[in-house]
Structure 1
């Protein structure tokens, strides 16, 4: 199946351009981490929205690379995580599973976009819901090891379901808007 042109067509761009896009994407995800609703044990942020948009705009390779860069910056202590946090301790706490699922979710969003899922609203929305599912599954699996499955499902998945639908719809609208801008310019 031929690949669909993505809103950010960077395949033939030099490595420096791709690296700059990855760096800017990682900072956009960090900015989205500041938009949060404090909850316990996992805060609700706009990170998942940004993760999926980055993947769908850049493709699976650039999406996964951007998220790996984002996580590396957060791990070394840069203020990349929810509320401006950073450091290795966050990769062992309750949010670790969600964070570590980000690259896979971005890669999935990019992979599906490259295969044409970004052409129509229903498939684009479905792809973003699947990406959110990857994040919630990773988060729940890790949270279950720390607090048990009951807490993982009731506090780590259920409170996020309505926001998942909303953020997926916003992500789809964002990708469609960027694609329209690219085609107009």
Structure 2
């Protein structure tokens, strides 16, 4: 009996099964993911000091579908694109200013929340368990609001940050989390 067999496949937590993909496919997934993140940035409702966008939906979905490592790396790649001048953030923003202004805390939270959603998806909080998928997405959204609100609070004061940078986004967080859980459930059913 030979112990030199083919590598064991890691069980799929996502219909994309990227954890078993080649490096070329993973690279293509990162490119596609940064494009999706950029597109989600243009779905925006302008508000002061922080706009409402579909970014958190896209960030958490990429985490849940790609896994914590590849999802986090994809979000970091997108933020690097923004930092070097590509107009991929809300309203076509780019450069370093968004990373030091009122949106900075939210932007810096994005790789963290993608990794959180990805880690939980890998642990079974995915489309096969839609209630847990919803909880996962909600936890990620709340983490984004906590980090973003805390940084904003340093800039404009805690009370104003809560009123302008956290509370207006709670209903959106619930709706985006429900939408993400539904999409993950549909994707899981189609690939089952």
What is the TM-score when the length of structure 1 is the normalising length?
A: 0.94
SS at match of 1:117: coil
Find the counterpart in structure 2 of residue 128 from structure 1. 137
SS at match of 2:76: helix
Cα distance in 2 between the residues matched to 1:5 and 1:44: 30
Cα distance in 2 between the residues matched to 1:171 and 1:144: 28
Cα distance in 1 between the residues matched to 2:173 and 2:87: 24
Find the counterpart in structure 2 of residue 101 from structure 1. 109
- Native 8 Å contact 1:74 1:80 kept in 2: yes
| Residue 17 of structure 1: how far off its partner (Å) | 1.0
The higher radius of gyration belongs to 2
Find the counterpart in structure 2 of residue 77 from structure 1. 85
Map 1:3-22; keep pairs closer than 5 Å. Answer: 5-22=13-30
Find the counterpart in structure 2 of residue 87 from structure 1. 95
SS at match of 1:39: coil
- Native 8 Å contact 1:33 1:45 kept in 2: yes
SS at match of 2:20: coil
- Native 8 Å contact 1:65 1:103 kept in 2: yes
Tell me if 1:52 matches 2:57: no
Find the counterpart in structure 2 of residue 149 from structure 1. 158
| Residue 83 of structure 1: how far off its partner (Å) | 1.2
Cα distance in 2 between the residues matched to 1:4 and 1:137: 31
Cα distance in 1 between the residues matched to 2:61 and 2:190: 15
| Residue 178 of structure 1: how far off its partner (Å) | 2.2
> 1:88-136 CA deviation, whole Å, 9 max, x = no partner?
1110000010011000100000100111111212111000000001110
| Pairs aligned (count) | 182
Tell me if 1:31 matches 2:14: no
User: Aligned-pair RMSD on alpha carbons?
Assistant: 1.3
Return the match for 2:124 from 100, 116, 120: 116
SS at match of 2:86: coil
- Unmatched runs of 5 consecutive residues or more in structure 1: none
Find the counterpart in structure 1 of residue 7 from structure 2. none
4+ residue runs over 6 A deviation: none
SS at match of 2:19: coil
- Native 8 Å contact 2:12 2:19 kept in 1: no
Cα distance in 1 between the residues matched to 2:26 and 2:57: 21
- Unmatched runs of 5 consecutive residues or more in structure 2: 1-9
Greater helix proportion: 1
